[in-house]
Amino acid sequence: MHLHHLRAAGVSVVLECPPDALPAILHWGPDLGPLGAGALEHLAAELRPRSDQTVEVPIRTAIVPEARTGWMGMPGLSGHHDGGGGWSPAFTDVTCEQHGQRVVAAATDPYARLGLTVTVELDPSGLLRARAELRNGHDLPYTLDALNLVFPVHGNAVELLDQAGRWSKERVPQRRPLTVGTHLRENRRGRTGADAATVLFAATAGLGFRRGEAWGVHVGHSGNHRHYAERTAIGRTMLGGGELLLPGEVVLAAGETYRTPWVYATYGRGLDEAAHRFHEHLRARPGHPVRPRPVVLNTWEAVYFDHDLDRLLDLADRAARVGVERFVLDDGWFLGRRHDGAGLGDWYVDPAVWPDGLHPLAERVRKLGMEFGLWVEPEMVNPDSELARAHPEWILKAGDRLPPPARRQQVLDLTNPAAYAYVKERLLAIVGEYDLDFLKWDHNRDLVDPGSAAHGGRPAAHAQTEAVYRLLDELRAAHPRLEIEACSSGGARVDLGILQHTDRVWASDCIDPVERQDILRWTAQLLPPELIGSHIGAERSHTTGRRHELGFRAATAFFGHYGIEWDLTSLTDAELDDLAGWVALHKRHRELLHTGTMVRVDDTPESVRAHGVVAPDASEAVYEIAVLGRPATWPPGPVRLPGLDPETVYRVRPLTPVASRGAAPVWVSGELELPGSALAAAGVAAPPLFPEQSALLHVEAVTATA
Ligand code: DGJ
C-alpha cells in the first residue's frame, strides 16, 4: 500500500509513496471523505499524470520533481558533484513511513550517493507543510543550486494572486491569469522583503475572501527565497518554493546535509479560510502569546533621535495615563547614535545622552506599571562606529569590495563566530541590565553581496539567516519572558520562518489609516491580528502627510496588537482622555479580537471596506465598516456581515458614536436585532460617513433559537 490519505479540517491530501521514486501528492484540496484502499487506488489511477509524447512511462510529479521521470518543468533538486556527476538525480531506493498526520520518505540515489529525506505533514488546521533534507554521501563535494518543493493544484485553477509592495506600502495584492509557463517570484534581498510574494495563490475564477477555491504556498524563510506557479504542457499546475541559493553558497562535503525551510501549503474555499489555517497553525504554537497583548507606546514617531530624559519621562507619564502597558524606547539610545548614520554595532548606552544609563527612564516606566522595551538592530553595523573601526573584517562583502551603502550601514557577518559572540554578549548584557520585557529587532537594509571572509569569501545569506534564528533562540532561552518583535524597515520581515523565533511583526512604517486598511487586510492573509503591531499615529501621517481624525486612526488599528506612536506631550487633556477611551475600549474587546475568527467582506459598496472578528463560539463579533473615498452613488448601500451563527439572533450596535452625514441606519441606535443568516445574506446599511472615516459595530447574541 503506497497510498496515504491525510485528512484534517476539510482538507484531504493523497500522497503516493512508491518504493522506487520520491513521494508525489496526487490530491491536495477539499476533503474527499473516507476512502478505502480500493477507492484510493481507483482515485490514484485517475489522478496520476499520464505519459505524453516525450516519454513512454507515466510522468511523476513528485514533491521534489525529478527530470529523469519525464518531468519537464522546474526540477526540485539542482546541483552537481565536483567533476560533473550527480547533476540529474534519480532517487530510486525509497522507504516511506506514516506517523499520524506526518509522512516521512527516506530516499537514496545509489549512483550519485545522495540521500534525501522528505517530510510532509498535515496540521490539525488543515495547513499542509513539507521540507526536505539532502545528504551528500559521496567523497566528492556536492554544489547545491536549488532544492524546491512543489504542491499540485486542481486543474480548475485559472488565476494567480500574490503580493508586491515597497517600503511603507507592503503586501499589495496583484492578480494575473494562470497560463502555461512559470510565474516566478525570486527574492535576493537576504531578508523577506517588502515586495515578498508572501502567499502565492492559484485559484478558481473570481476568487474572493469567502468564495472560490484557493491553493496557496508560502516559504517560511527570512532570507533569499523563491515562490513559483508553473503550468506545464501536460496540464499540471504546481505551486513551488524554496530557499534561493547564491552561486556556490551551499557546497556539501562528504556526510554534510542541507535542510530546506518549511514550505507551507494552504487550501481554502475563499481567502479567509486559507488564512484561517495559517492563523490556527500559529495559535497552536507552544510559544504563541496567550496573555493579553499589552498596549504599546513606541517612541519613534514621537521623538525620533531626540532623546531627552525629561521629555521621555513626560511621554511615559502620559502613556501610563492613557492606559499604555508597554513603553518601547526606539532607535537612538546607544553610542554615537544621534542620527541614522552612526553607531550601529556599538550596543552600549550612550553616556553623552544618558549619563545614568537608561535606569531613570526604565525605573519610571516600571513605577508607572508598564513594561520596558528597547529597539535594536543586531545584524547591522555603521562604518561610522567603534565596532566597524575595530573589525572591518566583520562586514559581509564580496571580496574586498564593500556593498553599496544603504541607510549608511552595512551587514555584520554573524556567521563569523567572533562577531556572533560579540553581538550575543552585548544583547544579553543590555537585556539583563534593564531586565527588558521586549525587544524591537530591526533590520534596515538588503544583503547586497553578502560574502563572508570567515567562509573563504563565499556567499553567506543562508548561514546568516540561520545565525539570526539561533541568536534569537539563545536570547529567548536565556530570558524566557522576553518578547521580540520582527521589524525590517517596517514590514519587510513577515514570514513564518521569523515567527518561529519572534512574537509579533511590525507591519509597516506607514501608520496612515487609509494605507493601513490594506496593509493590515493583506498581512492578515498570513498572520492573525494579535501578531501584527498596529499603532495609532499622529493626526498628520509622517509618511503620507494626510490628516485623519482620531476615530479613524484608532478604529483602523483597533484589531491588531494595539499601540501608539505619537508625541503625547503635544496633546491636550481632552485629547488624552479621548485616546484613553480608545485604549480602554480595545482592552475590553481584545480577547475576542485576538482569539476570534477573521472575516473580510466581499462585494462591499464602492469605496467601502468591511472586515471583522467573530468569537470562536460565535456569541459576539466586532466589525469595522470604513468609507475610504467618495462613491458615485449615495448613501453607500448595504454591507453583509458574514461569519455569524445563522440561527442565532444578534443585536447590532455601534461601539463608538457614529458621525452619520444624513439619516443614520437603525443599527446606529443600537436597536437592530437580526439572525446571523439575515446579517450574512442581507447585512446592514453602511453608515453615511465622510471619506476616511469608519464605524465599529458590536454584534452580540441575544438568543439562540432552537
Ligand atoms: C525602521 C523601523 O521600521 C522604524 O519603526 C524605526 O524603528 C526605525 N527603523 C528606527 O531607525
Q: What are phi and psi of 625, to 5 degrees?
A: -115, 115
Alpha helices in 479-618 (DSSP H): 513-523, 550-557, 573-595
The Å distance, Cα 442 to ligand 1 centre, comes to: 7
Of 643, 658, 641, nearest to 696 by C-alpha is: 658
Nearest CA to ligand 1 atom 6: 300
> Among 300, 380, 564, which is best to mutate for testing ligand 1, by the most ligand atoms less than 8 A from CB?
300
What is d(CA 521, CA 610) in angstroms, rounded to the nearest whole number? Answer: 10
Nearest CA to ligand 1 atom 1: 489
What is d(CA 324, CA 435) in angstroms, rounded to the nearest whole number? Answer: 19
Of 246, 147, 218, nearest to 461 by C-alpha is: 246
Could you tell me if 434 and 495 are in contact, meaning their C-beta atoms sit under 8 angstroms apart? no
What is d(CA 99, CA 123) in angstroms, rounded to the nearest whole number? Answer: 13
pLDDT at 662: 86
Instruction: Tell me which H or E stretch contains 418.
Output: helix 417-434
pLDDT at 704: 56
Q: What are phi and psi of 427, to 5 degrees?
A: -65, -45
The Å distance, Cα 83 to ligand 1 centre, comes to: 48
Could you tell me if 21 and 60 are in contact, meaning their C-beta atoms sit under 8 angstroms apart? yes
Pair type for strands 77-81 and 93-99: unpaired
pLDDT at 118: 98
What is d(CA 12, CA 22) in angstroms, rounded to the nearest whole number? Answer: 20
pLDDT at 347: 98
Could you tell me if 90 and 113 are in contact, meaning their C-beta atoms sit under 8 angstroms apart? no
CB-count exposure of residue 148 (10 Å: 0-12, 13-18, 19+): buried
The Å distance, Cα 227 to ligand 1 centre, comes to: 28
Active site annotation includes 330: no
What is d(CA 204, CA 214) in angstroms, rounded to the nearest whole number? Answer: 7
- Joined grid coordinates for residue 607: 469605496
3-state secondary structure of 90: coil
Nearest CA to ligand 1 atom 11: 331
Nearest CA to ligand 1 atom 10: 331
What is d(CA 653, CA 666) in angstroms, rounded to the nearest whole number? Answer: 9
**Concatenated DSSP letters of 50-69:** PP-SS-SSPP--BSS--GGG
CB-hemisphere CA count at 13 Å for 565?
Answer: 26
What is d(CA 574, CA 424) in angstroms, rounded to the nearest whole number? Answer: 45
Of 650, 652, 656, 657, nearest to 685 by C-alpha is: 652
Task: Give per-10-residue mean pLDDT for the chain (706 aa).
Answer: 93 97 98 97 94 86 96 97 97 97 98 98 98 98 98 97 98 98 98 98 98 98 98 95 98 98 98 98 95 98 98 98 99 98 98 98 98 98 98 97 97 98 98 98 98 96 98 98 98 98 98 98 98 98 98 98 98 98 98 98 97 98 97 94 98 95 93 98 97 98 70
The Å distance, Cα 699 to ligand 1 centre, comes to: 37
- Joined grid coordinates for residue 197: 510574494
Residue 547 DSSP label? B
Nearest CA to ligand 1 atom 3: 490
Query: For residue 635, is the peptide bond before it cis, meaning its omega torsion is within 30 degrees of 0?
Result: yes
Active site annotation includes 509: yes
Pick the atom of ligand 1 nearest to 375's CA: 7
Pick the atom of ligand 1 nearest to 487's CA: 3
> Among 298, 306, 337, 375, which is best to mutate for testing ligand 1, by the most ligand atoms less than 8 A from CB?
375
3-state secondary structure of 147: strand
The Å distance, Cα 489 to ligand 1 centre, comes to: 6
Distance of CA 291 to the CA centre of its chain: 21
Gyration radius from the chain CA atoms: 27
What is d(CA 507, CA 301) in angstroms, rounded to the nearest whole number? Answer: 15
- Joined grid coordinates for residue 167: 517600503
Instruction: Tell me which H or E stretch contains 626.
Output: strand 620-627
pLDDT at 706: 42
Grid cell 543562508 in the structure block, residue: 462
pLDDT at 1: 55
Nearest CA to ligand 1 atom 9: 489
Pocket of ligand 1 (CB under 6 A): 300, 330-331, 340, 375, 442, 444, 487, 489-490, 506, 509
The Å distance, Cα 56 to ligand 1 centre, comes to: 58
Marked catalytic residue, from 442, 503, 512, 645: 442
User: Residue 175's CB: how many other CB atoms inside 10 A?
Assistant: 12
Q: How many residues does the chain have?
A: 706
> Among 408, 487, 566, which is best to mutate for testing ligand 1, by the most ligand atoms less than 8 A from CB?
487
- Strand (E) positions, 255-345? 257-259, 263-268, 296-298, 326-329
Pick the atom of ligand 1 nearest to 565's CA: 5
Pick the atom of ligand 1 nearest to 509's CA: 3
The Å distance, Cα 263 to ligand 1 centre, comes to: 29
> Among 167, 306, 444, which is best to mutate for testing ligand 1, by the most ligand atoms less than 8 A from CB?
444
Marked catalytic residue, from 162, 331, 413, 509: 509
Helix count and strand count (H, E) for the chain: 12, 38
The Å distance, Cα 333 to ligand 1 centre, comes to: 13
